[in-house]
C-alpha cells in the first residue's frame, strides 16, 4: 500500500513540476497561465463531451501502449508499433473496400482479423530477425517503420488511391465493415463525439494481455524469456518461437489501432493519419509500468492531455500548436522520467554483461 | 607473546544484518591466526574494519596496546597493516612490475625510479621465495603468482600485519603449498598474519591459533593442537555434518553417457578434444585449473556451443551435438556453473522457478492455462525436501541467499528424475552446510543408478564424492583415476600438465 502511495505522490509532484514549467512557457507566450490551464482542465473534465473525447483519443494509445508493454514483457523493445499499425490499417482498409458485398457479421470480424494478422506479421519480422540472427530489435523495428510507411504511402497514393481525390487515401470501406459509434448504443451521449466501440475492444485487449501473461503457459514462457533468455533457453524453451510469438502479439495490438481509425472513425485509410501513436505507445507503456491494466490508465492520461491541448489550441491565439506540443512533451517527460531512468539503467546492465 | 593487534567488542550492522556482533580478536607478533567460518559469517567484514575500509558501529582497535581510529585505509597502512583482498584486481595488460609501481603512493618531487623499484621487488622475491618474473605480463601469470604481486605491494609498504582474505579459494594444491612456504618465511621474519579460509584442513596446517566465526560472532579461539576437521566443522555450523557413506562404490556397468573426440576448433586449430564416459551409478569428476576448457565443455553439454566434430552418446543413441530441447526430452538435467545467469530466472518466484523446464508436464497446465495450485504444491514439496529457506514459494528467487538459490536449481533438476546429471561447480559460493546437503543429494541420485558428470574446480569436492576423477588440461582429458587409488598430489600434478604415471 505504501508503495502505491509513493507512486501517486511522485506522479502528483511531477505533474506539478510539469505545470510549473509549462506555466513559464505560457507566460513567455504572452498568455495568463491560469486562464490557459483552466481551459485545459475544463476541456477535459468540464463536459461529457470532453470526457468522451478523452476516451476517443486514448483508444489508439491503449493499443500501441499494449503493443510496447507486451513486447517488453518478453524482453523486446518494440519501437515499431508505428509501422505495424500502418500495415494493419492498410490491410483492414483493403478488405473493407474490396469485399463490399459481405454482410457485417462476416466483414467486421474479418477486417479486424486482417488488421491483427497484418500488424502481427509485420512485428514478427523483427522477432524473427532477432531470434535467428541476433540483430537488435530496436534497429529492426525502426527500419521496418520506414519500410511500412513508404509501402502504405505508395499504396494509398498509387494502386489503392481513391480515384479523383486530391490527397493520398483509399476509397471508403463498405458500410458493413464499419463499427458503431457510442451514441448509437447510448443515445444520451452527444453525437458529435466520434468515440466508438473500439474503446471497449481496447479495454478487452488489455484484459486479454493480462490474462495471457499471468495465467497461461505461453505467458509464463514469454515472461521467462523476457527476464532471462539464457536460463530460458537452457530450460528447453525455444527462443525463436517465443520471440516470434511475442512480436506477433505485440504487432497485432498495434495493428488493432485500425479498429478505431479505419473501422470506427475515418472509414478509410488516410496516408499519414497517425500523429505518432506508435511512438507515444512507448511513453504510455512506461507510465503504465508495463502492466496491461496500467496501460489503460496511462493511455487515458495521455488522451486527456491531447484533448486539453486541442482546446487550448482552439481558444488561444497567442499559443501556437508548437507550444502546445512542447507543453505536452514536458508533461510526458516529467511523468515518465523515473520509468525512463530505470529502463535505461536496466538496459545498461544488460549490455554490460 | 606480545599482543600486536587487539580488536575489542567490534560490532557492525548492514541494515538488519549483524555482520559482526561484539567480536573480540587478537593477533600476536610472528603468529599466523586462522579465521574460519561459513559464507556470510562476517569474516570479510571484520577484516575490512581492521584495514580501515569499514567503520565499526562500536568497538575499539588497539595496535601495540594503543587505541587507534582508522578513517581510511591509509591510516591502517600507516600502522603497518596490509590486506590482500578476496577478489583483488590487477591490470591484465601490464607487467607485474608496472602493477606494483601503479599501486605505490606517489613520491614527492620527482619520479619513481623504475630500476630502484625493480631492485626492491627482486630482493623481496628472493627473500620470501615469491618466485616469479617481475617483467612478465600479468595475464601470463597464474592466479597464485598474481596473488604474490599483491603480497609484494604490501611488503613494499613495510607491512607487519598481513591480512589474507580467502587467499586459497581458487588456487591449485601445489600453489597452496607454495603460498604456505611463503607464509612460513614471512612468519620467520616476525610478520603477523591473519589467514581466512573455509577450507579446514589447510587452516589447521598453517595456523598457530584458529578462531571460528558463526553468524557474526567469534565462537571460540583454539590452539592448533586442539583442532581437527570434525571439531571445526561442528563449531562452524553448530551441528555435525557428514557425507553419506557409500561414495567410493563403483558400479562398473554400462556407460550412460559418452563423449568421443568432441572437438572445438579456433583458426583451424583444435583447442578442445574430449573423450570420456560416465557409467550408470557413478559420479565422474572432471577437475582442472579454470580455463582449461571447462567453460567450453559446459557450453557443449548444455547446447550453447556446437562442437566441430566428434560423437556424443546417450544410452547408445549417437548425436553430433546437443540442444537444450534434446536435453529436456532425454531427461538429462544440468546444474549450470553460472546459477543466476543460466539456472534461474531471478525475477520469478520460487514456485515459478521450480517448473522451469518442467512446464510441459501435463499436470502443470490444462488447455494452455497454468495450474497454479498444483505448481505451488509441487514447489512446497521441493522446499520441504530440500530445506529451502525461507519456506515461501511466493518469494522472488533474487531475494534468496546463494546457497538457497543453488538448492532451488538442484531441487528442480533432481525433480525431473534424470538418468544423467551434469553438475558444474554445484557448491561454489555455497556455505558448508548447504555444500554437504548438495553433495549428499548427488550421492543419493547416484545410488538410484543415475550417472553424474561433475565438472568442478574444487579438488576436495572431487575427492569427497566421485568414483573416478578425470583431469582436464589444455582442452584434453589427460588422465582418468579411480578416486580411491589416487591422491590430491597426483591430481594436482596432472592439473599442471604432468604426465600420467600409472594406469587408472
Ligand atoms: N556492504 C554490505 N552491505 C550489506 N550487507 C553486507 C555488506 N557486506 C557484507 N554484508 C552482509 O554481512 C554478512 C557478513 O558478510 P561477510 O563479512 O562478507 O561474510 P564472509 O566474508 O564471512 O563470507 C553477510 O550476511 C553479508 O550479506
Ligand atoms: Mg568473505
pLDDT, tens only, A189-239: 888 889 999 999 999 999 999 999 999 999 999 999 999 999 999 999 999
> Cβ–Cβ of B302/A217 closer than 8 Å?
no
Strand duo B283-287 + B468-473: pairing? parallel
Peptide bond into B300 cis (omega under 30): no
For chain B, how big is the Rg over CA atoms in Å? 25
- The rounded percent of chain B whose pLDDT value lies above 90 is 60
3-state secondary structure of A80: coil
pLDDT bin (cut points 50, 70, 90) of residue B504 is very low
Partners of residue B360 in chain A, C-beta under 8 Å: 236
pLDDT bin (cut points 50, 70, 90) of residue B236 is confident
Q: How far apart are the C-alpha atoms of A232 and B245, rounded to whole Å?
A: 36
Give the atom of ligand 1 at the shortest distance from the alpha carbon of B46: 17
pLDDT bin (cut points 50, 70, 90) of residue B245 is low
> Cβ–Cβ of A231/B344 closer than 8 Å?
yes
Which residues are near ligand 1 (CB < 6 Å)? B 14, 17, 19, 37, 39-45
Considering chain A, what is the average pLDDT of its residues?
90
> Cβ–Cβ of B357/A221 closer than 8 Å?
no
Partners of residue B344 in chain A, C-beta under 8 Å: 228, 231
Give the atom of ligand 1 at the shortest distance from the alpha carbon of B401: 27
Sign of the Cα torsion B216, B221, B225, B230 reads: negative
Q: Does B169 have pLDDT greater than 80?
A: no
Contacts of B452 (CB under 8 A, 6+ apart): B278, B282, B283, B284, B420, B421, B422, B423, B442, B445, B446
Structural domains of chain A sorted by starting position, each given as residue range(s) with its CATH number in brackets: 45-320 (1.10.3470)
Ligand at shortest distance from the CA of B45: 1
pTM, full prediction: 0.74
> Cβ–Cβ of B359/A238 closer than 8 Å?
no
3-state secondary structure of A101: coil
CA A347 to chain centre: 23
* Cross-chain CB nearest to B370 (options A215, A234, A235): A215
In chain A, which residues touch B (CB < 8 A)?
215-221, 223-224, 227-228, 230-238, 353
Ligand at shortest distance from the CA of B165: 2
Q: Does B249 have pLDDT greater than 60?
A: no
Partners of residue A228 in chain B, C-beta under 8 Å: 341, 344-347
H-helix segments, chain A: 2-28, 33-45, 48-73, 81-98, 104-133, 137-157, 182-185, 198-215, 217-227, 229-234, 239-255, 257-258, 277-287, 292-315, 321-352
Whose Cα sits closest to atom 2 in ligand 1? B14
pLDDT bin (cut points 50, 70, 90) of residue A349 is very low
Q: Does B459 have pLDDT greater than 70?
A: yes
Cell numbers linked to B498: 604432468
Query: How many angstroms away from the CA of A337 is the closest CA of chain B?
Result: 23
Whose Cα sits closest to atom 4 in ligand 1? B14
Partners of residue B372 in chain A, C-beta under 8 Å: 215
Whose Cα sits closest to atom 16 in ligand 1? B42
Give the atom of ligand 1 at the shortest distance from the alpha carbon of B165: 21
Contacts of B451 (CB under 8 A, 6+ apart): B255, B256, B257, B278, B279, B280, B281, B282, B283, B284, B419, B420, B421
Whose Cα sits closest to atom 18 in ligand 1? B44
Structural domains of chain B sorted by starting position, each given as residue range(s) with its CATH number in brackets: 3-237 (3.40.50.300), 241-331+418-504 (3.40.50.300), 341-417 (no CATH)
CB B20 within 8 A of CB B42: yes
pLDDT, tens only, A70-129: 999 999 999 999 999 999 999 999 999 999 999 999 999 999 999 999 999 999 999 999
Partners of residue A237 in chain B, C-beta under 8 Å: 324
Give the atom of ligand 1 at the shortest distance from the alpha carbon of B48: 17
Cell numbers linked to B393: 514459494
- Cα of B195 vs centre of ligand 2, distance in Å, is 12
Query: How many angstroms away from the CA of B343 is the closest CA of chain A?
Result: 5
> Cβ–Cβ of A234/B343 closer than 8 Å?
yes
pLDDT, tens only, A249-291: 999 999 999 999 999 999 999 999 999 999 999 999 988 989 9
Query: How many angstroms away from the CA of B45 is the closest CA of chain A?
Result: 27
CA atoms within 13 A on the CB side of B80: 14
Q: How many CB pairs under 8 A join A and B?
A: 67
* Cross-chain CB nearest to A236 (options B328, B345, B346): B328
CA A305 vs CA A40, A58, A329: distances in Å: 8, 10, 10
Considering chain B, what is the average pLDDT of its residues?
89
List the single range of A325-334, B130-139, B402-411 with lowest mean pLDDT. A325-334
CB A2 within 8 A of CB A314: no
DSSP, res B225 = G
pLDDT, tens only, A134-178: 889 999 999 999 999 999 999 999 999 999 889 999 999 999 999
Q: What are phi and psi of A286, to 5 degrees?
A: -60, -50
> What ipTM does the predicted assembly reach?
0.85
- Cα of B428 vs centre of ligand 2, distance in Å, is 13
Neighbours of A239 (CB within 10 A): 20
Closest residue in A to B344 (Cα) is A231
Angle at A72 between CA A68 and CA A77, to 5 degrees: 70
Ligand at shortest distance from the CA of B217: 1
Confidence at residue B112, expressed as pLDDT on a 0 to 100 scale: 65
pLDDT, tens only, B75-107: 999 999 999 987 788 888 888 988 888 766 555
For chain A, how big is the Rg over CA atoms in Å? 21
- Cα of B60 vs centre of ligand 2, distance in Å, is 22
- Cα of B153 vs centre of ligand 2, distance in Å, is 21
Nearest to A76 by CA among A132, A148, A131: A131
Segment of B197-201, B353-357, B490-494 carrying the highest mean pLDDT? B353-357
- Average pLDDT over every residue of A45-52: 90
pLDDT, tens only, B353-379: 999 999 999 999 999 999 999 999 999
Query: How many angstroms away from the CA of A229 is the closest CA of chain B?
Result: 8
Q: Which helix (H) or strand (E) holds B276?
A: strand B269-279
Query: How many angstroms away from the CA of B408 is the closest CA of chain A?
Result: 14
In chain B, which residues touch A (CB < 8 A)?
302-304, 324-325, 327-328, 334, 336, 341-348, 352, 356-357, 359-360, 364-365, 368-370, 372
Partners of residue B341 in chain A, C-beta under 8 Å: 228, 230-231, 353
Confidence at residue B108, expressed as pLDDT on a 0 to 100 scale: 46
CB B297 within 8 A of CB B274: yes
Amino acid at each position: 500500500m505504501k508503495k502505491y502511495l509513493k507512486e501517486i505522490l511522485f506522479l502528483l509532484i511531477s505533474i506539478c513540476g510539469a505545470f510549473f514549467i509549462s506555466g513559464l512557457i505560457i507566460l513567455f507566450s504572452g498568455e495568463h497561465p491560469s486562464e490557459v490551464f483552466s481551459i485545459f482542465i475544463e476541456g477535459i473534465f468540464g463536459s461529457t463531451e470532453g470526457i468522451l473525447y478523452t476516451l476517443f483519443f486514448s483508444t489508439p494509445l491503449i493499443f500501441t501502449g499494449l503493443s510496447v508493454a507486451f513486447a517488453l514483457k518478453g524482453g523486446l523493445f518494440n519501437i515499431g508499433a508505428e509501422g505495424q499499425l500502418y500495415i494493419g490499417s492498410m490491410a483492414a482498409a483493403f478488405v473493407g473496400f474490396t469485399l463490399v458485398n459481405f454482410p457485417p457479421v462476416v466483414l467486421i470480424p474479418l477486417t479486424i482479423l486482417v488488421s491483427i494478422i497484418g500488424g502481427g506479421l509485420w512485428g514478427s519480422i523483427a522477432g524473427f530477425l532477432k531470434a535467428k540472427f541476433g540483430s537488435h530489435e530496436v534497429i529492426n523495428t525502426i527500419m521496418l517503420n520506414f519500410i511500412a510507411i513508404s509501402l502504405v504511402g505508395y499504396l494509398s497514393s498509387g494502386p489503392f488511391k481513391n480515384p479523383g481525390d486530391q490527397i493520398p487515401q483509399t476509397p471508403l470501406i463498405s458500410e458493413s465493415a464499419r463499427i458503431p459509434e457510442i451514441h448509437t448504443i447510448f443515445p444520451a451521449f452527444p453525437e458529435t463525439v466520434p468515440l466508438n466501440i473500439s474503446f471497449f475492444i481496447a479495454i478487452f485487449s488489455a484484459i486479454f494481455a493480462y490474462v495471457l501473461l499471468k495465467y497461461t503457459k505461453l505467458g509464463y514462457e514469454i515472461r521467462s524469456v523476457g527476464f532471462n533468455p539464457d536460463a530460458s533457453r537452457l530450460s528447453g524453451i525455444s527462443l525463436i518461437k517465443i520471440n516470434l510469438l511475442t512480436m506477433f502479439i505485440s504487432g497485432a495490438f498495434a495493428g488493432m489501432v485500425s479498429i478505431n481509425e479505419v473501422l470506427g472513425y475515418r472509414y478509410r485509410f488516410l496516408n499519414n493519419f497517425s500523429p505518432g501513436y506508435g511512438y507515444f505507445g512507448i511513453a504510455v507503456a512506461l507510465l503504465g509500468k508495463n502492466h496491461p491494466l496500467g496501460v489503460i490508465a496511462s493511455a487515458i492520461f495521455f488522451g486527456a492531455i491531447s484533448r486539453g491541448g486541442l482546446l487550448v489550441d482552439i481558444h488561444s491565439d497567442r499559443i501556437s500548436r508548437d507550444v502546445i506540443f512542447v507543453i505536452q512533451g514536458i508533461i510526458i517527460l516529467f511523468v515518465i522520467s523515473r520509468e525512463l531512468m530505470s529502463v535505461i539503467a536496466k538496459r545498461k546492465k544488460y549490455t554490460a554483461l | 607473546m606480545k599482543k600486536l593487534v587487539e580488536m575489542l567488542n567490534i560490532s557492525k550492522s548492514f541494515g538488519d544484518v549483524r555482520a559482526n556482533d561484539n567480536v573480540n580478536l587478537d593477533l600476536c607478533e610472528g603468529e599466523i591466526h586462522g579465521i574460519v567460518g561459513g559464507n556470510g559469517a562476517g569474516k570479510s567484514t571484520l577484516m575490512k574494519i581492521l584495514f580501515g575500509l569499514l567503520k565499526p558501529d562500536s568497538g575499539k582497535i588497539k595496535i601495540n596496546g594503543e587505541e587507534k581510529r582508522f578513517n581510511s585505509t591509509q591510516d591502517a597502512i600507516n600502522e603497518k597493516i596490509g590486506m590482500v583482498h578476496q577478489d583483488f584486481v590487477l591490470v591484465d595488460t601490464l607487467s607485474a612490475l608496472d602493477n606494483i609501481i601503479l599501486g605505490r603512493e606517489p613520491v614527492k618531487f620527482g619520479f619513481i625510479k623504475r630500476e630502484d623499484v625493480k631492485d626492491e621487488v627482486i630482493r623481496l622475491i628472493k627473500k620470501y621465495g615469491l618466485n616469479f618474473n617481475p617483467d612478465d605480463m600479468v595475464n601470463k601469470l597464474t592466479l597464485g603468482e598474481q596473488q604474490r604481486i599483491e603480497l609484494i605491494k604490501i611488503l613494499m609498504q613495510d607491512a607487519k600485519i598481513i591480512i589474507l582474505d580467502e587467499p586459497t579459494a581458487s588456487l591449485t594444491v601445489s600453489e597452496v603449498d607454495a603460498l604456505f612456504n611463503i607464509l612460513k618465511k614471512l612468519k620467520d621474519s616476525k610478520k603477523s598474519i591473519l589467514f581466512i579460509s573455509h577450507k579446514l584442513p589447510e587452516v589447521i596446517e598453517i595456523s598457530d591459533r584458529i578462531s571460528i566465526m558463526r553468524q557474526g560472532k567469534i565462537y571460540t579461539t583454539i590452539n592448533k593442537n586442539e583442532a581437527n576437521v570434525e571439531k571445526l566443522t561442528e563449531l562452524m555450523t553448530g551441528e555435525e555434518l557428514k557425507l553419506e557413506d557409500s561414495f567410493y562404490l563403483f558400479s562398473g556397468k554400462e556407460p550412460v553417457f559418452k563423449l568421443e573426440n568432441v572437438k572445438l576448433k579456433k583458426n583451424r586449430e583444435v583447442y578442445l578434444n574430449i573423450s570420456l564416459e560416465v557409467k550408470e551409478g557413478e559420479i565422474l569428476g572432471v577437475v582442472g585449473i579454470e580455463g582449461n576448457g571447462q567453460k567450453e565443455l559446459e557450453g557443449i553439454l548444455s547446447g550453447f556451443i556446437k562442437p566441430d566434430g566428434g560423437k556424443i552418446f546417450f544410452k547408445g543413441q549417437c548425436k553430433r551435438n546437443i540442444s537444450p530441447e534434446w536435453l529436456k526430452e532425454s531427461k538429462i538435467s544440468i546444474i549450470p556453473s553460472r546459477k543466476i545467469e543460466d539456472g534461474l530466472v531471478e525475477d520469478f518466484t520460487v514456485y515459478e522457478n521450480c517448473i522451469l523446464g518442467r512446464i510441459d508436464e501435463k499436470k502443470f497446465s490444462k488447455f494452455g492455462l497454468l495450474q497454479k495450485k498444483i505448481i505451488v504444491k509441487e514447489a512446497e514439496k521441493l522446499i520441504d525436501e530440500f530445506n529451502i529457506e525461507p519456506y515461501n514459494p511466493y518469494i522472488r528467487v533474487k531475494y534468496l541467499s546463494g546457497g538457497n538459490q543453488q538448492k532451488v536449481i538442484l531441487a528442480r533438476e533432481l525433480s525431473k528424475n534424470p538418468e544423467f546429471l551434469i553438475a558444474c561447480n554445484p557448491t561454489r559460493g555455497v556455505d558448508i552446510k548447504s555444500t554437504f546437503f548438495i553433495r549428499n543429494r548427488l550421492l543419493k541420485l547416484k545410488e538410484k543408478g543415475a550417472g553424474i558428470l561433475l565438472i568442478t574446480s574444487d579438488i576436495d569436492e572431487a575427492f569427497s564424492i566421485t568414483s573416478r576423477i578425470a583431469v582436464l588440461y589444455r582442452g584434453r582429458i589427460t588422465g582418468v583415476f579411480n578416486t580411491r587409488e589416487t591422491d590430491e598430489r597426483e591430481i594436482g600434478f596432472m592439473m599442471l600438465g604432468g604426465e600420467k604415471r600409472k594406469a587408472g
